[in-house]
Structure 1
Amino acid sequence: MALSISAPPSSSSLLAPSPQVGRWNSVSAKPGTFSLRRTALEARAAAGNASASPVGEFVTELDAVAGFSEIVPDTVVFDDFEKFAPTAATSAIDTALADGECNALEKPEARMSCYLTKALANVGAELAHQVPGRVSTEIDARLAYDTQGIIQRVHELLNLYNQHDISSERLLFKIPATWQGIEASRLLESEGIKTHLTFVYSFAQAAAAAQAGASVVQIFVGRIRDWGRNHSGDPEIDEALKKGEDAGLALVKKVYAYIHRNGYKTKLMAAAVRNKQDVFSLLGIDYIIAPLKILQSLEESVTDPHEKYGYVPKLTPAIGKTYEFTEEELVKWDQLSLAAAMGPAAEELLASGLEGYVNQARRVEELFGKIWPPPNV
């Protein structure tokens, strides 16, 4: 998957929240196509001061909430690899399938993996040329437990992007938050390569990722909530539920507090947002990835900034000073302590997420096999 975020490359802070709705374009085997009707809306509610709008001026809820967090559309570029349209993405794929280096590989599995890597880089480069900001390219989930394999793939992608004249400053690499992925993130960040850790379902994963220096950590709020509604026995989720808290939102708050308590550079991203109230409850986080239906609902709702929601950030750096952590939570995380602390929810959701992405990669490679070689080869 290749993604683009509309944070100006010249910005001094990586992925700092901006007072506008972001553009997040993705390349994936997942079904669906999306484009936001308004690609960039000026937020008239200034961060931390919703009353900044002129008296009597009405704004949309989307305008208002975008003053506190970057609201990112959850998008995909390809809706069906079996029904290619004549687009730049198709050209990028055809170019990958005609690549001589890939064609020279004897093993079909290696050849198709090579095509997939080059196709992602081609599409990511196309996005980088069209959209300001950073492009986040997903690393093959089959490498999730192979630190050196992840690092090698990132360097391969960096080389491919370099051939397209895309600077490393424009790039992020999306890595599963296994221990091996977190370790790869640490090593890559030490080289100045920015990483984006995904499939985070536990405090231990997020804390270890922040300690590793990951640029972005992505928590799936709704998936954690869903697990808690249908299961029990996870200490972290059970504790939140006993306090009457939403387990997904509670994890975000805890991780946000941890990052700011320790002064880590990591930016926090919330995904799997289910409704507008989730957005309101997450205000102040760096990024919120929201589905089209929620964005449309927010945009269609005209509101007075002084109305009941108040449009105030629920997450502020100050909570890092007041949040109570146990001694066990403030340790230097390693592979053993991470494995012991993850809990059944994180283990199950991580395994499920990886399986889904592995299946998608295989499906795409199978489809590449059906259309290879292209007519001009």
Structure 2
Amino acid sequence: MNQLEGLKKFTTIVADSGDIESILNYTPQDATTNPSLILKAARLSSYQIMLEYILAYARKQGGNRNSQIINASDKLAVNIGVEILKIIPGRISTEVDARLSFNCDMCIAKAHKIVRLYQEEGIDKSRVLIKIASTWEGIKAAEQLEKEGINCNLTLIFSFAQARACAEAGVYLISPFVGRIYDWYHQRQLLEPYSVHDDPGIKSVRTIYNYYKQHGYQTVIMGASFRKVEQILALAGCDRLTISPAMLEELRNRYQYVERQLSPSTKVFHHPTLLSESEFRWEHNQDAMAVDQLADGIRQFARDQQHLENILAEKL
């Protein structure tokens, strides 16, 4: 048994890719995409026929040039998701434009549009997760969407305050970013010699996992953004792990035993008092890494979204 097979005994594996061929190769349960992955996929020769169809769709929708670009971008993300859903049994995560991260109403409106585009392709909302950045506004948008039966994946989780607020909002799933947490600390104080048990990204996910299980929260924890296979194996037993094709391949080629590292608590406590907006902002602000990385993550996704739109604009 290779390590990918061993890991699947404890954890649901999710492919972190927009490349259909890569996903087909690893048989994951679910898949996640983001603007960076969609941009990468859009540059592949195998997607050019789809791009032409998307552009024709956008032109048919009418409106000004900017509206056509946005419609093309949204349709591309959804149609890549549709193709991925043909080869996985579970769900696809499709991301709301990062530039809307501080506008609750606009996040909700974009989520509704994404769901509608999937439904037009015959895909029920039960197979879609709406991916939203974990700002206060994003969390509140997700809270409303969950009440409507639209499940959400709250991404760019770096602080405990974010994780706690997401659970209290009843969101379906969160994505704590292990690798980006590791990067931030490693750039400031070399984490060498490396010990996975001292890795601040691993510690963050373990803290969130234990807190959720102790308080009986149903929100799914999906570790994301890995830099080392050791980080993945250190979270064996986490609800889900979303893994890049390169690391899925590395796991598939390793045959060491995989030991479960995370197990739910048998003792459950009552939920604490809900965080207020001011408490959330203060507690998140106390974590310099989380403040830096949330802002940087939103900027990066926004840049890649803009690059994608530039490509579409040229072809339009």
Which TM-score applies when normalising by structure 1?
A: 0.70
Superposition pairs for residues 95-114 of structure 1, below 5 Å?
A: 95-99=53-57, 104-106=62-64, 108-114=65-71
- For residue 143 of structure 2, what is the aligned residue in structure 1? 186
Query: Given the superposition, is the C-alpha separation of residues 71 and 315 from structure 1 closer, same or farther in structure 2, using an over 3 Å criterion?
Result: farther
Rounded Cα–Cα distance in structure 2 between residues aligned with 1:336 and 1:185: 18
Query: Given the superposition, is the C-alpha separation of residues 247 and 321 from structure 1 closer, same or farther in structure 2, using an over 3 Å criterion?
Result: farther
Query: How many residues are paired up?
Result: 297
Q: CA offsets per residue over residues 33-65 of structure 1, 9 Å max, x none?
A: 972685249xxxxxxxxxxxxxxxxxxxxxxxx
Query: Given the superposition, is the C-alpha separation of residues 365 and 151 from structure 1 closer, same or farther in structure 2, using an over 3 Å criterion?
Result: same
* Alignment check: 8 A CA contact 1:179 1:335 kept: yes
Give 1:318's aligned amino acid.
S
Q: CA deviation at 1:350?
A: 0.6
Query: Given the superposition, is the C-alpha separation of residues 353 and 223 from structure 1 closer, same or farther in structure 2, using an over 3 Å criterion?
Result: same
- For residue 66 of structure 1, what is the aligned residue in structure 2? none
Q: CA deviation at 1:136?
A: 1.1
User: Does structure 1 residue 39 correspond to structure 2 residue 22?
Assistant: no
Rounded Cα–Cα distance in structure 2 between residues aligned with 1:272 and 1:224: 9
- For residue 60 of structure 1, what is the aligned residue in structure 2? none
- For residue 5 of structure 2, what is the aligned residue in structure 1? none
Q: Secondary structure at the match of 2:222?
A: strand
* Alignment check: 8 A CA contact 2:90 2:127 kept: yes
Q: CA deviation at 1:262?
A: 1.8
User: Does structure 1 residue 281 correspond to structure 2 residue 241?
Assistant: no
User: Does structure 1 residue 337 correspond to structure 2 residue 279?
Assistant: yes
User: Does structure 1 residue 360 correspond to structure 2 residue 307?
Assistant: no
Q: CA offsets per residue over residues 196-217 of structure 1, 9 Å max, x none?
A: 0000000000110111111110
Q: Secondary structure at the match of 1:98?
A: helix
Q: CA deviation at 1:77?
A: 6.6
- For residue 92 of structure 1, what is the aligned residue in structure 2? 50
User: Does structure 1 residue 166 correspond to structure 2 residue 156?
Assistant: no
CA RMSD of aligned residues (A): 3.0
Give 1:193's aligned amino acid.
I
- For residue 290 of structure 2, what is the aligned residue in structure 1? 346
Q: Secondary structure at the match of 2:198?
A: coil
Larger helix percent: 2
State the percentage of identical aligned residues: 26
Q: Which has the larger radius of gyration?
A: 1
- Alignment match of 2:262 (pick from 305, 315, 332): 315
Superposition pairs for residues 43-192 of structure 1, below 5 Å?
A: 76=37, 79=40, 81=42, 83-85=43-45, 87=46, 89-99=47-57, 104-106=62-64, 108-192=65-149
Rounded Cα–Cα distance in structure 2 between residues aligned with 1:110 and 1:278: 42
Query: Given the superposition, is the C-alpha separation of residues 19 and 255 from structure 1 closer, same or farther in structure 2, using an over 3 Å criterion?
Result: closer
Q: Secondary structure at the match of 1:298?
A: helix
Give 2:17's aligned amino acid.
S
Q: Secondary structure at the match of 1:35?
A: helix
Q: Secondary structure at the match of 1:302?
A: coil
- Alignment match of 1:198 (pick from 148, 155, 159): 155
Q: CA offsets per residue over residues 91-119 of structure 1, 9 Å max, x none?
A: 4332221126765222x333311211122
Q: CA deviation at 1:248?
A: 1.2
Segments of structure 1 that go 5 or more residues without pairing to the other structure are: 1-16, 42-69, 233-243, 306-310, 323-328, 373-377
- For residue 201 of structure 2, what is the aligned residue in structure 1? 248
Segments of structure 2 that go 5 or more residues without pairing to the other structure are: 1-7, 190-196
